[in-house]
């Protein structure tokens, strides 16, 4: 029994030529398939494994653990809360300091201040480096026996404690991570500003708006799509932070992050599915902002 609606759909499908259909299925089908195989399948397995005990070798050794791994993490592992704290500090720092700084820089450079190309290049340079490389560079600079210590005339015996000094190491790590993040945000925002209709700015100037009013009332709201992307990038980058800290501290959890804990319990000598549970916690924390972002995007499309 065919209803009119179904007929309509069938007809509209027919309007695609064979070539179109092939291209479409290739362009949508193959990435989807790869995504399912390499992303969704492992994710699903990780979620299931987080409810088990296993040492990672023989599948027959997997034992059901129920919520034991999660109970262990939430109730028994103080290092989890240290990691959560560090992730939150990272997130707050990026959201309220690094990202606004990037936006400020983009705004200034967009006004073509004198020598802006030179500044742009300087701030953009760290963006081409991965966080792992940035970790290697700054570890080399700041560690005992490192370059900066050498310049200060400190040898390894009396080197200024930086990575192991808990009243400053978080700030140093944040500063190093921001070194790249600021340039990244600057670049994204600058691209957005280039597309900004300058007549809006002129109009607000004619109406007697101050610079700050123009930015807050005109530019910032108009840039909403870019703002959302930047916010999501900031949140996800903060929660998936790993490589920089791993390069500096290795698997020792001297400055723990959720992903470092996942890695330490997954890789290393003692493989336990506590690592899977850590991954799932990090995943849930990441998925929420992604969902908000997607909802936003779809809402806009519907409008």
Partner 1 sequence: MSEVNNGISRRSVLKGAAIGGAGLVAGGSLLAGCGKKKVTGDVHYTIRGNLSDAGAKINIAVNDAYTKKTGNKVISQAVNSDDFQNNFVQIMQGTPDDAFGWMAGWRTNARADSGLLADVSDQVKALGSSLSAAAIQGATNPADGKQYIIPTTYYPWGLHYRKSTMTELGLNPENIATWDDLIKLCEATKKKGLVGYALGDKGGWEAMGTFDILNMRLNGYQFHYDLLNGKEKWTDAKVVDVFTHMGQLIPYMNKNVLDISWDGMRDLLLQKKCGAMMMGSWFANDFKAKSQEDYDDLWIVPFPEINPEHGVDSIDAPLDGISVAANGKNVEGGKDLAQFWGSKEGIDAAVAAGDTSIYISSDFDTSGYDAFNKQKLAVLGAAKNIGFFLDRDTRGDFAGPVVGPAIQSFLKNPKDLTKILESTQAQWDALPAL
Is-contact 225 233, C-beta < 8 A?
no
Is-contact 80 275, C-beta < 8 A?
no
Length of the chain: 303
The distance from CA 174 to its chain's CA centroid, rounded to whole angstroms, is 14
In the complex with partner 1, which residue's Cβ is closer, 22 or 166? 166
In the complex with partner 1, which residue's Cβ is closer, 232 or 261? 261
Structure tokens at 298: 């779809």
Q: Which of 284, 283, 285, 261 is nearest to 273 (CA)?
A: 261
DSSP element (H, E) containing 63: strand 63-64
Which residues from 241-280 bind partner 1, rule CB under 8 A?
249-254, 256, 261, 264-265, 267-272, 274
**d(C-alpha 193, C-alpha 171), whole Å:** 30
In the complex with partner 1, which residue's Cβ is closer, 31 or 42? 42
In the complex with partner 1, which residue's Cβ is closer, 221 or 270? 270
Q: Least distance to partner 1 from the beta carbon of 169, Å? A: 9
Convert residues 26-65 into a mask of x (bound to partner 1 by CB under 8 A) and - (unbound): ---------------------------x-xxxx-xx-x-x
Spatial neighbors of 166 by CB under 8 A, at least 6 apart, are none
Using CB under 8 A, which of 43, 70, 72, 297 touches partner 1? 72
Q: How far is CA 77 from CA 51, 74, 81, 269, in A?
A: 17, 6, 8, 18
β partners of residue 52: 64
Q: Least distance to partner 1 from the beta carbon of 272, Å? A: 4
Using CB under 8 A, which of 158, 191, 207, 210 touches partner 1? 158
Q: Which of 13, 2, 12, 47 is nearest to 287 (CA)?
A: 47
In the complex with partner 1, which residue's Cβ is closer, 35 or 165? 165
In the complex with partner 1, which residue's Cβ is closer, 105 or 262? 262
Could you say whether residue 211 binds partner 1 (CB under 8 A)? no
Structure tokens at 26: 């290739």
Q: Least distance to partner 1 from the beta carbon of 179, Å? A: 20
Q: Least distance to partner 1 from the beta carbon of 131, Å? A: 18
Interface residue list for partner 1 (CB under 8 A): 53, 55-58, 60-61, 63, 65, 68, 71-72, 76-79, 143-145, 155-166, 249-254, 256, 261, 264-265, 267-272, 274
């Amino acid at each position: 029994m065919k209803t009119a609606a179904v007929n309509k759909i069938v007809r509209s499908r027919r309007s695609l030529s064979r070539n179109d259909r092939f291209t479409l299925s290739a362009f949508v089908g193959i990435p989807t398939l790869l995504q399912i195989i390499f992303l969704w399948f492992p994710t699903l397995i990780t979620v299931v494994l987080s409810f088990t005990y296993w040492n990672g070798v023989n599948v027959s050794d997997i034992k059901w653990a129920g919520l034991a791994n999660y109970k262990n993490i939430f109730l028994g592992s103080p290092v989890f809360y240290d990691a959560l704290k560090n992730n939150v500090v990272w997130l707050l720092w990026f959201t309220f300091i690094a990202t606004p700084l990037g936006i400020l820089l983009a705004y200034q450079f967009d006004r073509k201040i004198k020598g802006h190309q030179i500044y742009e290049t300087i701030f953009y340079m760290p963006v081409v480096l991965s966080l792992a490389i940035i970790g290697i560079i700054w570890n080399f600079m700041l560690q005992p026996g490192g370059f900066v210590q050498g310049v200060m005339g400190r040898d390894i015996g009396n080197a200024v404690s930086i990575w192991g000094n808990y009243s400053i190491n978080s700030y140093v790590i944040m500063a190093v991570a921001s070194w790249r993040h600021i340039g990244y945000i600057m670049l994204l925002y600058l691209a957005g500003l280039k597309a900004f209709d300058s007549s809006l700015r002129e109009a607000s100037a004619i109406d007697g708006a101050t610079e700050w009013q123009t930015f807050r009332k005109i530019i910032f709201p108009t840039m909403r799509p870019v703002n959302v992307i930047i916010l999501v990038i900031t949140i996800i980058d903060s929660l998936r932070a790993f490589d920089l800290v791993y390069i500096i501290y290795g698997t020792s959890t001297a400055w723990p992050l959720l992903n470092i804990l996942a890695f330490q319990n997954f890789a290393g000598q003692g493989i336990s599915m506590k690592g899977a549970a850590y991954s799932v916690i990090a995943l849930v924390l990441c998925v929420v902002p992604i969902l908000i972002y997607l909802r936003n995007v779809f809402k806009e499309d519907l409008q």
